Amino acid sequence: MDVQLDDSLLIKRYVAGDEKALEALIEKHNQRLSSFIYSKVNSRDITEDIFQDTFIKVIRTLRRGTYNEEGKFLPWVMRIAHNLIIDHFRKSSRMPMFDGADTFDIFSLISDEKLNAEHQIIKDQIDTDLGKLINELPADQREVLVMRIYKDMSFKEISENTGVSINTALGRMRYALINLRKIIEQNDILLTI
């Protein structure tokens, strides 16, 4: 597939079922998007993960038919990546978060050991329950989900280990999450501390 094709044409081809069009779209914007992400996170592994997560969101939007083509594909993808970078930094523990007070209070960093023990028990139960739910997934979806979430593997590594394309691995992960949500909603399960 020629990566020099216009983004809107590649998008139309992908939506019509041409998987090669998506590969061409990814290849076309790979360098620019990867450089942008890397300039913010300074880590090759994190860059690769955010890049892949960005295209998971792109694929979902395109498949749902909710993408509004206005000749602004790259800025849209960059905005998705930017939001994922912000999410990454929010989730990472690089900066301690305080409750908005203007002064530093050491007691905001000290916690009650009993509360931590209780949270650990609840977390262990949630982990056990989630493991049972994951075991209900089809084997191919379960395999990708375990590799991604529990083994922290990139989609490229998952692809290499399972012998399927990155797109197939992305699709399996997507369906695993969709199926997990269905199981959780059908059984009215609460998985929070």
CATH code for the domain in which residue 180 is found: 1.10.10.10
pLDDT in tens, 31-57: 999 999 998 888 899 999 999 999 999
**Number of folded domains in the chain?**
2
Whether residue 82 is found in the same domain as residue 149? no
Query: 51 and 15: one domain?
Result: yes
Q: What is the pLDDT of residue 183?
A: 82
- What pLDDT, on the 0 to 100 scale, is given for residue 49? 92
Go through the chain and tell me how many residues it has: 193
Residues 191/126, Cβ–Cβ less than 8 Å: yes
- How buried is 100 (Cβ within 10 angstroms: 0-12 exposed, 13-18 middle, 19+ buried)? exposed
Does the pLDDT at position 100 exceed 90?
no
Contact status, residue 14 vs residue 22, Cβ threshold 8 Å:
yes
pLDDT at 74: 87
pLDDT band at 143 (very low <50, low <70, confident <90, very high): very high
Provide the phi-psi class of 68: left if phi over 0, else alpha when psi is between -120 and 50, else beta. beta
Choose the final residue of a domain: 57, 91, 125. 91
97 found inside a domain: no
Q: pLDDT, tens digit, for every residue of 170-182?
A: 999 999 989 888 8
- Under the banding of pLDDT at 50, 70 and 90, the label for residue 69 is low
Q: Average pLDDT in the 114-123 region?
A: 64
Q: Coil, strand, or helix at residue 160?
A: helix
Do 87 and 162 sit in the same domain of this protein? no
